[in-house]
Structure 1
Amino acid sequence: MKDYLHQSRRYVLRSEVSADDIDDFALAWGWPLVHETHRDRDEQVDGQLIWQGLPDVALHFIVDATSGVAYVVFTGDGRSSVEPFEQQFLDQVPLWGLDELFRAFDEAEDARTRAQHVLRMGLAAPPEFDEGVFRRISETVANSEPKVRYAGLWATTYTGYQRFVPVIRRVSLEDPEDYVRSRALSIVKAFEAEGSQ
């Protein structure tokens, strides 16, 4: 499979959008399905379908191994080759916008819903630092529910924001749950390895 120079940001799909819907969208462009990987949560393998467009553009439908959240990215040899297709997609497919995710997170009435929204938020985070994302994920990492804190930790990994390192390090040292501390420590190490490159 080809390596591309440009990748779009991640676009988190609404739950009503299925792989079949994305397939219909790609086929309307005449793009054949060229790759399929089935999600395996135990092995931490993302599910992925790839449709190949012009020689230098592809559409990827990905289901995150951990969260089960589906999102789309476009890849291509350059931004100019990707943008026309990306814009058509954005105009026609129901996606979670960041402001909508902020609102849904802020209004969530139970821990499970809040955890789901924070995972979506992490995946939808822009590559450049976003204060709203940082604040809400940091709140989640300090939640009273261990499963919500765990979801918050995963959300930090999707963003790539190095500013999370002190927050996660504190969790790795102070969280009352072993499994949360252990995950936090592995995430700190991954962030530190990434930051040293």
Structure 2
Amino acid sequence: MLRADDGETVAERFAAERDWDLIARDVADPERGAELEVVWATDGPVTFQFQEDHVLNEGYVYLAGRDRARVERLEADLTGSLDLWSRDELLREAARHDEGPARGRAILRAGLGAPMEFDHEFYDLITGAMRSGEPAMRAIGIRACAYSPVAEYRPTLEELARNDAEQEIRDLARATLRAFDEFEVGS
């Protein structure tokens, strides 16, 4: 997760400083669920990508490629060069807000910035939101778990899909479970 207000400019500058070639730029279209996405070819078989989440209106960057060693080298450069939210900062920011929109944004940001492997603290934060007495917070929790899907979210999603009092929450949980199935998350 980038801290900058204009993440696209930050990502463009980072790529330009390394002479990486722009290979794609897809304009955001929230109505069809498409986010702003910009992709650069690095000097190896890895791409550097920027996306702007249309719910948070915040940008994030990531690397994609099969060359694990190359990804790790570039990741070290990326984390050393860009102003990113750290794991601990994401968790502290969520803990700092007890309720309301600021807490919701912090939980969504934490979901987006969470590791792609299971992390107990992020899991506790996000499932806590999914079990909230407030339907809006439950929806935020479901969206947050979809950003960094791990199998451990499945039981809570299944419970919400079956038994939540709100149809909208049941539908959102079912849709998220379908996405988990499609990407073979915990199935």
Scaled by the length of structure 1, what TM-score is found?
0.85
Equivalent-residue separation in structure 2 for 1:45 and 1:35 (angstroms): 14
Q: Aligned partners of 1:195, 1:33: CA distance in 2, in Å? A: 31
Q: Cα offset for 1:67?
A: 3.9
Which of the numbers 78, 91, 97 marks the counterpart of 1:108? 97
Q: Which residue of structure 1 aligns with residue 109 of structure 2? A: 120
Which ranges in structure 1 are unaligned for 5 or more consecutive residues?
A: 1-11
- Are residues 196 and 165 of structure 1, via their aligned partners in 2, closer, same or farther at CA, if it must alter by over 3 Å? closer
The match for 1:4 is: none
Aligned residues: 186
Look up the match of 2:40.
Answer: 51
In the TM superposition, residue 73 of structure 1 has moved relative to its aligned partner by 0.7
Given the superposition, is the C-alpha separation of residues 81 and 195 from structure 1 closer, same or farther in structure 2, using an over 3 Å criterion? closer
Q: Which residue identity does 1:94 align to in structure 2?
A: D
> What is the CA-CA distance between 1:28 and the residue it aligns to?
0.8
Say which of 23, 29, 35 aligns to 2:12: 23
Deviation of 1:112 after TM superposition, in Å, equals: 1.0
Letter in 2 for 1:85: L
Partner of 1:13: 2
Aligned-residue CA RMSD (Å): 2.0
Q: Which runs of 5+ in 2 are unaligned?
A: none
Which runs of at least 4 in structure 1 moved beyond 4 Å after TM superposition? none
Which residue of structure 2 aligns with residue 95 of structure 1?
Answer: 84
The 1:161–1:55 alpha-carbon spacing in structure 2 relative to 1, beyond 3 Å, is closer
Cα displacement (A) at 1:14:
1.2
TM superposition shift of 1:99: 1.0
Q: Report if aligned partners of 1:172, 1:181 keep a CA contact under 8 Å in 2.
A: yes
1:83–1:161 distance in 2 versus 1, CA, 3 Å: closer
Does the CA contact (< 8 Å) of 1:44 and 1:66 recur in 2?
no
TM-score (norm 2): 0.89
Q: Distance in 2 between matches of 1:191 and 1:75?
A: 20
- Identity, in percent, stands at 26
**Aligned partner of 2:166: which letter?**
E
Aligned in 2, Cα 1:17/1:176: closer, same or farther, shift over 3 Å? same
Corresponding residue SS for 1:42: helix
